[in-house]
Amino acid sequence: MPDRVSSRIVRISQRLAALSLLLMVGMLLLNGAGWLAPGTHSLDGLRFGLSGRMMSGLPLDLAALPVWTRLGAVLLSSIPLVALAIGLLQLRALFRCYARSEYFSVAAADHMGRAGRAVLAWAMLDFLCEPLLSVWLTIGQPPGHRLVTLSVGAGSVVALFMAACITVIAHILRRASELDQEHRQFV
């Protein structure tokens, strides 16, 4: 029975490692596509955080914006997503540790901690990049139509809380794995 459970954990971990990589690449590509091909209505439900808020919240015709403005929007809206992508890479590394049956290793705890810090960075960068992106998108508008937006939603608060929890759990797991290694040396 334990071998069957272990092999199932290995399979699931391998799949989640691959899914983390696909999600990372997919979100960055879809973010760029949403800005560079704004008329693509099939992407409406696949917009991420900052891009989704800007595309639906600003009274702009995105297709009428110059390409350089949309390229700048891709860059600014991708900054928080890069932090999230780093977190997904850390999750991928964590799942690869689990696939090697390294459940309570220092390396696994470190990957979990880095993933938590990346989610924290993502939430903070999303908050900081929103006013920059709103100014960037509306700078060419006539006076009275330029905007600076700033928002904090429930999703941001939950992300910050989850990031803090993941980071604390990672510290606990790291300490537990260190104690386990010390215990094994004495036995």
Domain boundary assignment for the chain: 2-186
Give the per-residue pLDDT at 50. 80
- Of the chain, the percentage scoring pLDDT greater than 90 comes to 59
- The yes-or-no verdict on residue 27 having pLDDT over 60 is yes
Give the per-residue pLDDT at 87. 96
- Do 63 and 39 form a contact (C-beta atoms < 8 A)? yes
pLDDT tens for residues 143-161?
A: 888 888 888 888 889 999 9
Q: What percent helix, strand, coil does the chain show, rounded to 5?
A: 80, 0, 20
Give the per-residue pLDDT at 47. 64
- The yes-or-no verdict on residue 133 having pLDDT over 90 is yes
In one-letter notation, the amino acid at residue 128 is L
pLDDT tens for residues 29-75?
A: 999 988 888 766 555 555 667 888 888 778 888 888 999 999 999 99
- Of the chain, the percentage scoring pLDDT greater than 70 comes to 93
Give the per-residue pLDDT at 2. 58
- Do 166 and 119 form a contact (C-beta atoms < 8 A)? yes
CA dihedral of 152, 155, 159, 160, whole degrees rounded to 10: 30
Give the per-residue pLDDT at 57. 77
Neighbours of 54 (CB within 10 A): 26
- Do 38 and 70 form a contact (C-beta atoms < 8 A)? yes
Give the per-residue pLDDT at 73. 94
**Which has the higher per-residue pLDDT, 85 or 60?**
85
- The yes-or-no verdict on residue 163 having pLDDT over 70 is yes
**Which has the higher per-residue pLDDT, 111 or 43?**
111
Q: In which residue are the tokens 């700078």 written?
A: 139
